[in-house]
Amino acid sequence: MKHVHLLSIGYEWVLDHLPEDVALSNSKGAVEDSTAEHCLALILASLRELPRAYQLQTEESWSRLWTSSLHGSNVVVLGVGGVGTAIIERLKPFKPAKITGVASTARTINGGIDVVSIENVHQLLPSAEIVICALPHTPQTQGLIGKEFMDRMRDGALLVNVGRGPIIATAALIKELETGRLRAALDVTDPEPLPVGHALWNAPGCIITPHMAGDTGQFVELVSELATRQVQLLSSGQTPLNLVR
């Protein structure tokens, strides 16, 4: 049996390069918690204006900042898979006014969190202070967050992306950031890596981290344990975990 095991959740990028007779598994369960933790860090850093506070520190300026807050905010989470649900669980202690999930089908999850169908996402945007993308990159999600999507977002809203860069139309986002109408916190971008001199680097109201949400020591430990388990299962003729093909 030929088998490839990925040290990530995302696998769409490898499918075109994988022969049909090769099975594929991912590392579901190893990266969700670290990604959700990083997502919360991005949200809090942006809402509480920590980059501005650090700038004031370097200037030795004791100037208090009045900021927005996760507490009392209306939050929309695009994608309620492993990462999305982990993010939702971490949002709850901050007491947002409302959390709404968005997925391919409407349902209720996690003790009463409403999930709206992706076809109806535009109805949620005018009242959302925070929109979080935790979607995979597929033909259906490519460019999902484009000009029309952003036009419906309320003034001052924060757009967070810990999914995949191409889900957001970068040119449209830059225009919104340059006018100051929207803010963004991005762990993934399009293009990626973001080249030197790209307009997104210095766009106002934007925090960027270099696709590092899962990069923790705990992730390394978990993903190593899973990879070892996969080898043990395969060597004993058993079905490996997390088969995606």
Which pLDDT score, from 0 to 100, does residue 12 have?
83
Long-range contacts, stretch 59-68, CB < 8 angstroms, 24+ apart: 68/129, 68/156, 68/158
Tokens found for residue 161 = 């992306």
Same domain, 133 and 18: no
Which pLDDT score, from 0 to 100, does residue 70 have?
98
Q: How many domains does the chain have?
A: 2
Domain span at 153 = 33-208
In the 3-class helix/strand/coil scheme, how is 62-112 assigned residue by residue?
Answer: CCCCCCCCCCCCEEEEECCCHHHHHHHHHHHHHCCCEEEEEECCCEEECCC
In a domain, 159, yes or no: yes
Please report how the helices 50-58 and 32-47 are oriented relative to each other, as an axis angle in degrees rounded to 10.
60
Q: Does the structure show a pLDDT above 90 at 15?
A: no
Same domain, 117 and 228: no
* Dihedral sign from CA coordinates of 6, 7, 12, 14: negative
Which pLDDT score, from 0 to 100, does residue 238 have?
95
**Averaged pLDDT for residues 16-31:** 94
In a domain, 241, yes or no: no
Same domain, 70 and 92: yes
121 vs 115: CA distance, rounded Å: 10
**Averaged pLDDT for residues 90-118:** 95
**Averaged pLDDT for residues 43-65:** 98
In a domain, 151, yes or no: yes
pLDDT digits (tens, 9 = 90+) for 234-243: 999 999 999 9
In a domain, 240, yes or no: no
Element (H, E) at 4: strand 2-5
Same domain, 25 and 39: no
Q: How confident is the model at residue 118 (pLDDT cuts 50, 70, 90)?
A: very high
Same domain, 226 and 163: no
Same domain, 57 and 11: no
In a domain, 139, yes or no: yes
- Tell me the three state secondary structure of residue 208: strand
Same domain, 10 and 117: no
Same domain, 121 and 177: yes
- Tell me the three state secondary structure of residue 179: helix
Q: Does the structure show a pLDDT above 80 at 1?
A: no
Which pLDDT score, from 0 to 100, does residue 46 have?
98
In a domain, 243, yes or no: no
pLDDT digits (tens, 9 = 90+) for 207-233: 999 999 999 999 999 999 999 999 999
244 vs 150: CA distance, rounded Å: 33
Q: Does the structure show a pLDDT above 80 at 110?
A: no
H-state helical runs in the chain: 32-47, 50-58, 82-91, 147-152, 170-179, 217-235
In a domain, 244, yes or no: no
Same domain, 204 and 230: no
Same domain, 15 and 70: no
217 vs 123: CA distance, rounded Å: 40
Residue 156: CATH number of its domain: 3.40.50.720
Q: Does the structure show a pLDDT above 90 at 11?
A: no
In a domain, 229, yes or no: yes
**Averaged pLDDT for residues 14-25:** 92
Same domain, 60 and 145: yes
Same domain, 119 and 160: yes
100 vs 54: CA distance, rounded Å: 32
